[in-house]
């Protein structure tokens, strides 16, 4: 006669506690890294949007042979910006693009001697004697800050701060 063994299936309480302990350690290690990754991505995304907008404004100025203005919405770059041409087809101002506001956890500001609107000439350069610079920072985490430099020739590039 065959003996029947009553075998329990599943996890013991000790195995469950150890699994939860390992999971919580991995989670505690991963959350700060994820937060830093998210902040770095936000800063890089804003920097890339600025470079894209300035490149677009420069290209449109050359394309249409007219001045193109990049202007902060409401006088504050944090609120976003608009790109308008000055005189395409006889029209005074034609809206070419508009960028949305920057996240509240980031600081986005224009620094240096060039303040206010940026105007690109039909030759692709900045109108005026000084170059432009924008800085993108996070107030809570340091080390990921970036700046966008705009030269007198109108080219833009991202640099680390």
Residue 18's pLDDT is 92
Please answer whether residues 46 and 108 qualify as being in contact, where contact means their C-beta atoms are separated by less than 8 angstroms: yes
Residue 88's pLDDT is 66
Q: Which of 74, 153, 144 is nearest to 107 (CA)?
A: 144
In a domain, 8, yes or no: no
Distance CA 128, CA 131 (A): 8
Number of H helices, E strands in the chain: 1, 8
In a domain, 34, yes or no: no
Element (DSSP H or E) covering residue 36? helix 13-64
In a domain, 120, yes or no: yes
Average confidence (pLDDT) over 88-101? 76
Number of domains in the chain: 1
Residue 50's pLDDT is 93
Residue 93's pLDDT is 78
Q: Is 83 helix (H, G, I), strand (E, B) or coil?
A: strand
Give the confidence band of 55 by pLDDT, cuts at 50, 70, 90: very high
Of residues 93 and 63, more confidently modeled? 63
In a domain, 142, yes or no: yes
Distance CA 16, CA 89 (A): 73
In a domain, 109, yes or no: yes
Percent residues over pLDDT 90 in the chain: 47
Tokens coding 106:
């980031």
CATH number for 85: 3.55.40.10
Q: Which of 116, 129, 111, 120 is nearest to 154 (CA)?
A: 120
Residue range(s) defining the domain that contains residue 122: 42-160
Q: Is 31 helix (H, G, I), strand (E, B) or coil?
A: helix
């Amino acid at each position: 006669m065959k003996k029947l063994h009553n075998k329990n299936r599943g996890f013991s309480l000790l195995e469950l506690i150890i699994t939860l302990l390992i999971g919580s350690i991995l989670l505690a290690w991963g959350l700060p890294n994820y937060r830093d990754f998210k902040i770095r991505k936000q800063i890089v995304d804003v920097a890339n949007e600025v470079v894209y907008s300035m490149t677009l404004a420069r290209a449109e100025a050359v394309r249409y042979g007219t001045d193109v203005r990049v202007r902060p919405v409401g006088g504050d770059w944090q609120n976003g910006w608009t790109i308008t041409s000055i005189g395409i087809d006889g029209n005074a101002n034609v809206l070419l693009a508009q960028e949305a506001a920057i996240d509240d956890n980031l600081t986005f500001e224009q620094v240096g001697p060039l303040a206010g609107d940026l105007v690109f000439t039909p030759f692709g350069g900045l109108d005026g004697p000084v170059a432009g610079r924008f800085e993108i920072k996070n107030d809570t985490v340091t080390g990921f800050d970036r700046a966008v430099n705009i030269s007198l020739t109108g080219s833009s590039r991202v640099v680390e701060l």
